[in-house]
Chain A
Amino acid sequence: MKVSVIVPAYNEERWIFKVVQEIIRAGYDVLVVDDCSKDRTVELASKAGAHVLCHVINRGQGAALRTGTNWSLKHGADIVVHFDADGQFRVEDVARVIQPITHGTADIVLGSRFLDRTTNVPLGKRFLLMPLARIINDLLFGVRLSDPQSGFRAFTASVGHQLYWRQDRMAHASELLALMVRGHWRIQEVPITVIYHEFGQGFFGGLKILKDLFLKRLG
């Protein structure tokens, strides 16, 4: 089975070389979608051996993932994996995430930071932002999953061909979860470990996601 690991990247010169090398070393094909970085992301990703696609203008992580997913599906990927470029995910977890698909027990697998205690999630996130995001996901989309904003996911090519998310920026994670649940595919969550280098989306980032979801719903 062809596994294509898609890494959207924007100004990730600090981590991209290491991330790409580790993915290649683990035996997966890696596609970096550069979202018009201003630093050496493209150069370093190429040097590390990734196939690199470059957006001509910055459109956000959701758009980069869509570009990468469409490209991978067009080039024969059987399983698509979404993976962050900032070195916060562990390459060892890719095997864990794709396993239920290769064993035929799931169509979609979502990495979750909350199924075990291996991830040291910042307290504000663990006890405030994530519970709030879970409630919103449940109320707005009927999504009841342990990790409401996980960016580590894998799905089959068949799912990929039917998934069409419209959110270009950070709200894509919530929209994808909603589409996946609505699609009635077999979804499984597996524990993953996230190594936090920075806090990531804060409260105002969350508000922006809500605004984007609201506007897209009306549009």
Chain B
Amino acid sequence: MAQILVAVVMICFFLMKLYWQKRKGAVSSAEFIFWLVFWFGTLILVLLLKPLDRFVASLGFSVSAIQVAVYLAIAILFYFIFRLRLKLEKMEESLTKINEALTKTKSQPEKDL
């Protein structure tokens, strides 16, 4: 019970921080909605641990709901890292294009190439 209480307090703290950041305009609407859904989802998971354990067991998993959530979170994190790598690749490509446009001529022999 105490563990659930600590988790709920922490989630409420993060939700409040999110709300204040939104009020200050530090996060975009899309980002705000993403994190809101994320923290509410976590809150539901924490509050409904027992029924979720039964649900996960009914699906055939031999581990608890919280463990399934951790495994899922790791898989999702890997996916995000992969997406980030692809985005970085695109940015690198753009950077190269800008670099080429900014290329300076240092010396020009009399006869042009």
Contact = CB atoms under 8 A, between A and B. Distances in A.
Contacts of A13: none
Interface residues of A, number: 34
A33 B95 CA distance: 17
The CB with the most chain A CB atoms within 10 A, among B96, B102, B104, B111, is that of: B96
Nearest to A70: B100
A147 interface: no
A212 to B, nearest CB: 9
Interface string A162-177: 0000101000000000
Given A46-B106, A53-B104, A215 B113 contact: no
A1 interface: no
Contact of A75 (B85, B93, B96, B112): B112
A75 B93 CA distance: 24
A72 B103 CA distance: 14
A31 B113 contact: yes
A218 interface: yes
Interface string A8-50: 0000000000000000000001010110000000100110011
Interface stretch (A54-62, A84-92, A98-106, A116-124): A54-62
A169 to B, nearest CB: 9
B109 interface: yes
A56 B102 contact: yes
A218 B99 CA distance: 23
A216 B99 CA distance: 19
A219 B86 contact: yes
By size class, the interface of chain B is 20 to 34
B106 A52 contact: yes
A125 interface: no
B13 to A, nearest CB: 38
B90 A51 contact: no
A49 B89 contact: no
Given A54-B104, A67-B103, A168 B113 contact: no
A63 B86 contact: no
Contacts of A53: 103-106
Interface in B61-94: 85-86, 89-90, 92-93
Given A54-B105, A55-B103, A166-B93, 14 more contacts: A29-B111, A29-B113, A46-B107, A49-B109, A51-B105, A55-B100, A56-B102, A57-B95, A66-B96, A66-B100, A70-B100, A77-B113, A215-B85, A218-B86
